[in-house]
Copies of this chain bind each other. A is one copy, B any other.
């Protein structure tokens, strides 16, 4: 049993003095906790995490045996695939870009549109999504895993049961809760190491505060305030309509949260994504339409804050965002249990 979250909050309060007038805003800059919370009914255990890691890397969880969770959420990279959209079974594509799995455990809802209340809920989605892993139904997933003796014994050991889809999801979620990147240059800076950030990054840090970026990208994960599990933090994007970026990058075609709720007020609302490791997750935005981080910064300034950034402002903010790339915990490669003497996948 691994113990619950030990949150080492070392908060640095920075007061931003706006250039003009007496405006003074203060935000808490917080370092990332070492470990996210977990649901009461899914405590972390070493064996469960190991099982979840195997499932996460196992392409046999997809119909044709060619796509694993890791295919689109590559933990050897920034936790996604650096593509505008991901490649599913039979080269199927969706319209959205894979969000990073790193630090996803700190998000109170999952998917771009927040349609899953937990990592457990999320894990079940792609398995049967016809453009992702394309399994016809969850029973099919269970039946395939049941044919692999090493998994059957692992489920017995970890859960005391046979293979169930809920336990598949619990194991995967448990592994994902270990995917935390602490100790970025930013975190070290916030904890007092003044040399951890370049002058440019420090200017960028002040800019994102002064400009109002942190109104949405707040908290230790820079993805909004801490909310109860299942309650998402959504924001409209673009907030300010009519920019040239909107057309260039086709930002409004996908209605986002509206596709889940069908409420007009949710049109073009999106879960606020994390800034953690954002330098590693190009291309950007829900549709992966923007190839570079500096352009993404310009787009956000214009569409959310009606600001045209100078080249210097942009590069300072980029330097700050780059400082949010954390340390990736060393991992043992899983060995996937064998289906001895037979193949289980379909073409």
Contact = CB atoms under 8 A, between A and B. Distances in A.
Interface string A51-78: 0000001111000111000010011111
A54 to B, nearest CB: 8
Majority secondary structure of chain A interface residues (helix, strand, loop or mixed): loop
Interface in A317-347: 318, 322, 325, 328, 330-336, 338-345, 347
Contact of A83 (B74, B332, B345): B345
A81 interface: yes
A264 interface: no
Given A76-B334, A330-B332, A341 B294 contact: yes
Interface residues of A, number: 49
Question: Which residue, A75, A330, A339, A341, has most C-beta atoms of chain B within 10 A?
Answer: A341
B340 A279 contact: yes
A293 interface: yes
Contacts of A330: 332-333
A282 interface: yes
A322 B336 contact: no
B81 A280 contact: no
Contact of A82 (B74, B83, B339): B339
Contact of A76 (B65, B74, B75, B336): B336
Contacts of A58: 76
11 contacts: A58-B76, A75-B333, A77-B336, A82-B344, A83-B345, A90-B91, A282-B342, A283-B343, A293-B341, A318-B341, A330-B332
